[in-house]
Structure formats: structure tokens, C-alpha cells
Amino acid sequence: MRRAALLGRAPAGSTIHTLIRLFTLGDSVEPAEAMIALGEAASGLLEIGFLKASDGKVRSLYQISPVGDTWVACDFNHRQGEDADEFVMGVGPSSLLLASLTPLVKGRVLELACGIGWLAGALARKGCEVTGTDLNPRALEFARFSARLAGAEAIDFRHGDGFSPVAGETFDLIVSNPPYVQSPGGGMIFKEAPAGDSVCARLLRALPQHLSPGGIAVVLINWTHANDDDWTEAPLSWVPAEGMRRWLFQSDCSSPADYAWKWISGDLHFQDEQAAEQEIQRWLRHYQEIGARRVSGGFMVLQKCEPGEEWTRTESRAAESIGSNAGNDVLRVLASENWLQAGHDVLHSRYEVPAGIVAEARMSLGDAGWVRDTIRLTSPARLSYDGQIDENILRLLAVVHAGGTPADMVAEIRTRPQFAAVPDLPERIAELVRELVSHGMLVPVTGSAEFIPPGQ
């Protein structure tokens, strides 16, 4: 949010106005203003180093910002250029994406590379038993502080690299927004490995052994590959197919130069043009050495299963419009894909249509009046499905929503003379049903749209 918008939320000179300037914007304020706003707490905050007095002013060394219905603590952005190896970032777009994708399940939850612990706190407030781990001890101090601000102090925060802090333990849900940037190595622990290591690959290889039976994982990842056609190879190679259900979602794909500049341009270390040019050349040499001509981003959803119950699914689609409740879409896809694997009779089964499905028609005006060009169907959170359909799918959804079965639609279509003799009509409708079920747009009533780990 811009400075003017933040300051406009409180009258100038008010206590809230001073607190916003001090803790959210990082302004230096008059000591008298700080004393009025903070009272006796001002002296204590100065004593522990949270506040600093210099040049006749008082300023905060740490940022406290509102996120949703709570507050979080992190570093001010300018600190990136001072101590990048210990910089602790706040809640960014990737944090919000992971939160939207996270399904609410019962049982033990692990947030790996939790940073300031905002998502861990949100899950703890919903009743989950949460463990949060991070390699940066400073980040964990912020996480504990933010947890106190949010009233979620029961979180078990642990320091360490990867899964080492939870060795031998399993969880019903694992979520992670790790340092996924594909660089030749750097000093920013919050976003990249120190020496060209693929953190994403390392974490995903170790992840299955830390999932309980039926447990789910959602991990944001970036990866390099050689061309536009081989984007699935590397991520799928990191997670064994046996005993795992794998859903790989590619949300963006860039050239090495565009990808490198995306990260370098916002790095305070490279605001000088010459420094930026030298850095981007370092990145491009790295990509050339490893044969990377494309860099992709996205996420993987995993579920541990019994041998013989595995499936793999890959999708490539922009994810800008994913809704905040996409975790429900994740649960529907997992439940529905698993139901399809069991080989049920799709034509004679009954289904529910999830609330929130939307169909939008695009029309154009011609000589004969308005003509419908396309129909776009989206799932409730625009994750599991977002694409063009025809009237047959619309009718199928309507029949099922009214309590019928796909077999009823076959019978309905048979009443039309032009379709009465079509021999493979049932197979065509069955294929439509399978597609809609696989995307969670039809939920078998004998299954469940809610995932509850075994034994819960």
C-alpha cells in the first residue's frame, strides 16, 4: 500500500498516525510523539533495541504491518542492502499464493522455510498443530514475535536447514514457500541458495518420507529446463512416482534474461547500472553452463498413497486470478482424481456441483444481432478449472445439479432425431464426466470434497 493511503487512515498527529509512521513506514519521529503514542513502553523498546534514538529523533529498527486481520513483524526493505544474508522479508505475493493454495486438514502441520511465520500463525489460529522451521534464526525471532501479536503462541518454531529440525517426524500437511530463485548463488537466504543449489529439488526429494499416510504437501517451486516442451521433466524427477499422487502446476515461463532481470532489478545491491550489468551476465553464464534456456515457476501438490493408487497430473496455465480459497479446489481435485482411479461407473453415479462455479459468455455484435462466441467455465477459486466449454457441458452440469445422473442426459439427447443413432454417445458423455470430475467440477456424492487424513 502506498504511503499516502496508509497515512490517510488516521488523522494527522493522532496516536495511530504516529504508529503507522514509526512502525509501518519507518519514519523518524519526535521523542514526544513516540512517548504519547507508546507511553511507558517507549523506554522498554529503546532499551531492548527495538527503537533507536539518534539526531534528536526516534525510529523503529523493525517493521510491523497489517496483513488481513493480524499484524506481522519483519525488516524494512532498505535492510536488504545492509545485511542481505540475514534479511527477513514480510508477506509478499508468493506468501499469499501459498496461503490460498493451502487446504485445511486435521492433524499435524509443518511449514517449511516459514520465515516470519504468518501462514503458520493463520493455521494455528484455525486449530492446527503447527511446527514452523527456517534456516535463518533471525526470521524465527520475528516469527515468535508475530505469533505473540496474533495470539498464536502455541506454534513450535525450530531452527535448521531443510527437514533436519524434524528428522524422523511425519505430518498430515506440509506447506512451503522455500528460497526458490534459480540463480548462480547469492547471499539472500530468504530467496536463493548460496551456490547454485536447487533448494526446490533437495526439499522435494526428501519430502515424501515426512508425509503421513494420506498426507498432503503444497510447495511453491521454480526450475530451469531446456525448452518449452520439457518443463515437466525436472520437477517430476524430484518426487518418486511410487506411493505418491503428483500434481505439477506451471504458472509462468520466462527466458533466462527476463527471469534474471526480474530479480536483479529489485535488488538494492544492484541499483547502479554497471553493477546490474555485471550481475545479469553472471546469471546468464550460469544458465548457459547448465543448459537452461527457460525458467519456470509454479507449485506441486503431493499426496502420499498406497502403491498402485498413484497418479500424475500436469497443468500449464497462468495463476494470477487464483482465489483465496483455492485450498478447497485442491481438496476436490485430490478426492475426485482418487475416485476416478477406483474405476466407478461414471454414467450412473450421482454428483454434486460445488457452489461458486461460474460460466461466462462472450458475445459479439454482427449484422444478425448478438452472437455468442465462447463460454468460459471457472471453478470456485479459478484453480482446478478455467477454460472454454460448449453447451453440452453446461447442460450436463444443470442435469446433475437438478438431481439427475449423466445417464439421464444420454437418454435426453437420444430423444433428438439427429442423435438417436449415434453409437458412441454414452462414451462421449462419460468422457465429459471424467473431465469434469478430474477438475473437481463434479463431486461424487459417494466420495467427499473434504480430505480428512486416515485415523482422524
Residue 70 lies in a domain: no
Q: Is residue 361 domain-shared with residue 273, that is, in the same domain?
A: no
Distance, in Å, from the CA atom of 145 to the CA atom of 151, rounded to the nearest integer, reads 10
| Residue 454 binned pLDDT confidence (cut-offs 50, 70, 90) | very low
pLDDT at 192: 81
User: Is residue 318 in a domain?
Assistant: yes
Residue 449 resides in a domain:
no
Instruction: Tell which of 61, 85, 110 closes a domain.
Output: 61
pLDDT at 1: 63
Q: What is the pLDDT of residues 263-303, one digit of tens each?
A: 999 888 888 999 999 999 999 999 999 999 999 999 999 99
Q: What CATH number should be reported for the domain holding residue 40?
A: 1.10.10
Last residue of a domain, one of 313, 341, 369: 341
Name the residue with cell 458412441: 424
Residue 312 CA to residue 333 CA, distance in Å, equals 12
**What percent of the chain has pLDDT above 90?**
77
Which of 320, 341, 362 corresponds to the end of one domain?
Answer: 341
Do 240 and 127 fall within a single domain? yes
Do 52 and 94 belong together in one domain?
no
Greater pLDDT, 327 or 416: 327
pLDDT bin (cut points 50, 70, 90) of residue 452 is very low
Q: What is the CA radius of gyration of the chain?
A: 26
Whether residues 107 and 88 fall in one domain: yes
Confidence of residue 118 (pLDDT cuts 50, 70, 90): very high
In a domain, 68, yes or no: no
How many angstroms separate the CA atoms of 108 and 171, rounded? 5
pLDDT tens across 350-394, in order? 999 999 999 999 999 989 899 999 999 999 999 999 989 988 899
Q: Tell me, yes or no, whether 375 and 295 share the same domain.
A: no
**pLDDT band at residue 137, thresholds of 50, 70 and 90?**
very high
Can you give the pLDDT at residue 160? 96
What is the domain count for the chain? 3
pLDDT for 80 equals: 80
Same domain, 193 and 250: yes
For residue range 56-83, what is the model confidence (pLDDT) as tens digits?
Answer: 999 999 999 888 888 899 999 888 877 6
If you average pLDDT over residues 298-316, what whole number do you get?
Answer: 95
- State the average pLDDT for the chain: 91
Pair 385, 398: CB distance under 8 Å: no
Q: Report the range out of 81-90, 242-251, 405-414 with the highest average pLDDT.
A: 242-251
- Give the pLDDT mean for 83-100: 88
Is there a single domain that holds both residue 53 and residue 93?
A: no
Query: Is pLDDT of 346 > 70?
Result: yes
Residue 382 shares a structural domain with residue 255? no
The more confidently predicted of residues 156 and 415 is: 156
**What does pTM read for this prediction?**
0.91
pLDDT tens digits for range 238-270? 999 999 999 999 999 999 999 999 999 988 888
Are 170 and 313 within one domain? yes
455 lies in some domain = no
**Co-location of 50 and 8 in the same domain:** yes
What pLDDT, on the 0 to 100 scale, is given for residue 295?
A: 97
Q: For 156-162, what is the mean pLDDT?
A: 96
> Which residues span the domain enclosing 16?
3-61
The lowest-confidence range among 160-174, 344-358, 434-448 is 434-448
Asked if residue 121 is part of any domain, the answer here is: yes
Given a contact cutoff of 8 angstroms between Cβ atoms, the answer to whether 51 and 60 are in contact is yes
Per-residue pLDDT at 446 = 67
In this structure, what CATH number is given to the domain that contains residue 255? Answer: 3.40.50.150
For residue 13, is pLDDT > 70? yes
Residues 335, 245 contacting (CB under 8 angstroms): no
pLDDT at 423: 84
Sheet strand arrangement including 244-254: 156-159, 129-134, 108-112, 171-176, 211-225, 294-304, 244-254, 311-316
314 and 369 housed in the same domain: no
310 and 204 part of one domain: yes
Tell me, yes or no, whether 209 lies in a domain.
yes
Locate cell 520475528: which residue?
142
Q: Is residue 84 part of a domain?
A: yes
